[in-house]
Amino acid sequence: MSHSSITDVTQRFGEARVLCVGDVMLDRFIYGQVDRISPEAPIPVFAIKDERTMLGGAGNVARNLVTLGAHVSFVSVIGNDKIGHTIASMIGKESLVTPYLMTESGRISTIKTRYVAGMQQVLRADHETLVPVTSATARMVVDTVEEEIKNQDIIILSDYGKGLLTREVTSAIIAAARTQGKPVIVDPKSRDFSLYRGATCVSPNLHELANAAAREIHSEEDLMQSARQLMQAHDIGCMLVTRGRDGMTLVMSSGEFHIEAKAQEVFDVSGAGDTAIATVALGVAVGLPWEEAAKLANLAAGIVVGRLGTAVVTAQDLRTALLAYEHSGGTHKIVPASVALAQVEQWKREGKIVGFTNGCFDLMHAGHLALLHETKLHCDKLVVAVNSDASVKKLKGPSRPVNGEMERALLLASLASVDMVIIFEEDTPLALIELLKPMVLAKGADYQKQQVVGHEIVERLGGKVVLVAVKEGYSTTGIIRKLA
């Protein structure tokens, strides 16, 4: 898939209508550090520093869908408890989500709490129920789906085994989708794949596939035989098997397609399956063949495992990652914003001073080179944020940029002074500076320090703002004027 085609596909994501049905939960991440062993027992003492709470399970699938621009009808069941109320509130804040949350009295809403020290999970604590929903709740879910399904492009069943997707509910949804001619993609939890009979695609990981096929999988041949056995036995159209570091394998009636993993560095696999199924579903919804949609999903999964916590990807992340994987010449430096934080934090742990500068960098000239070279003298690792094409148009006018965002990023990444390039959509890089917290922030001396976006953040951290002397006679506007 070329950069131009992926741009066209991601622009169409906003037209997609996705019905997502599944087990919703809260994912709670508690961050801290372990420096000693408890005197009370041979266990580590975890010192809490920070925490984050976000939608998990099917809720994380919905988060990924809306981040990519899709409109989502979301159907799930919660308990009438504090966690359930929090879930309802968080879903209600998603403007692209139409929620259909059934509240079941006496049900426990699920929360998974993960304790993370450094870049490593040290403990996960689950508070949940595995009890199937009542017949009355199941009927409400099916009635809602049957009413909504005619307005959808694709249906995702996100089964986390918490009791919503019973045989009664699942079979009714798949039957309704087939009647309407709508594809159904399933992220399975049950080892009994007869539960998903008639689905268009089922996407197990390797362990789930082995359990469902009741056989060990040691080779490509084992995988193919297991997948085809289950497809034939349960009338499943295709199977997308996620294989961690080995990528994905798509098994179809017409053949098999293996897609190599695209992860840069694995920090956390939490939610990677949610991202993959959301992306493949969106690809199919906007007309991609299954093979191309699977490639896009593999790309997205490779991005999120480079972040801590259940993560999401943006369309810009996908476009940037595609360039980084398909071109040579230093493009390993070009990373999505969602991956940048993990790399920057690794540099900081190694004692490196991280610097940051930004700009449009349209028609690279000697003034740009001087800025980057001088900035690198003040830091060990230099991050350059470059405005996206849409951002440049807003700032410079409809005739700009002259060079596209990927061409500009490629040129920057080829420079020895540059260690990381991030393409950003916003008018200013303030959000990136807040995220990465560099210790050096550089701009040209035609700015005053108070005009430099993010200077307060860097100085509050004890860092410094560097104003680099401007090389006279060089500017993109001047070059364009000469050419005209």
Select the CATH number that applies to the domain covering 3-312 from these four: 3.40.50.1000, 3.30.565.10, 3.40.50.880, 3.40.1190.20.
Answer: 3.40.1190.20
pLDDT in tens, 139-163: 999 999 999 999 999 999 999 999 9
CB 451: neighbour CB atoms within 10 A? Answer: 10
Domain ranges of the chain: 3-312, 331-483
pLDDT in tens, 334-367: 887 767 887 888 888 888 999 999 999 988 888 8
Active site residues: 274
CATH number of 331-483: 3.40.50.620
Confidence band (pLDDT; 50, 70, 90) for 268? very low
- Give pLDDT, residue 346: 80
Structure tokens at 192: 């009994």
Give the pLDDT mean for 78-100.
Answer: 95
Cα–Cα distance list, 141 to 20, 75, 255, 277, 448 (Å):
12, 7, 36, 21, 59
Give the pLDDT mean for 199-227.
Answer: 94
Half-sphere exposure of 178 (CA within 13 A, CB side): 15
pLDDT in tens, 289-324: 999 999 989 888 877 765 544 467 777 777 766 665
CA proximity to 4, closest of 405, 414, 453? 405
Residue that the structure tokens 């689905």 belong to: 199
Percent of the residues in the chain that have a pLDDT greater than 90, as a whole number: 62
- Give pLDDT, residue 479: 60
- Give pLDDT, residue 308: 47
Is the model's pLDDT at 262 over the cut of 80?
no
Give the pLDDT mean for 456-477.
Answer: 81
Is the model's pLDDT at 266 over the cut of 60?
no
CA proximity to 148, closest of 73, 216, 208? 73
What's the whole-number average pLDDT of the chain?
Answer: 88
Angle at 148 between CA 146 and CA 153, to 5 degrees: 110
Angle at 70 between CA 69 and CA 72, to 5 degrees: 135
- Give pLDDT, residue 483: 63
Give the pLDDT mean for 15-36.
Answer: 94
- Give pLDDT, residue 330: 41
pLDDT in tens, 434-452: 999 999 999 988 888 889 9
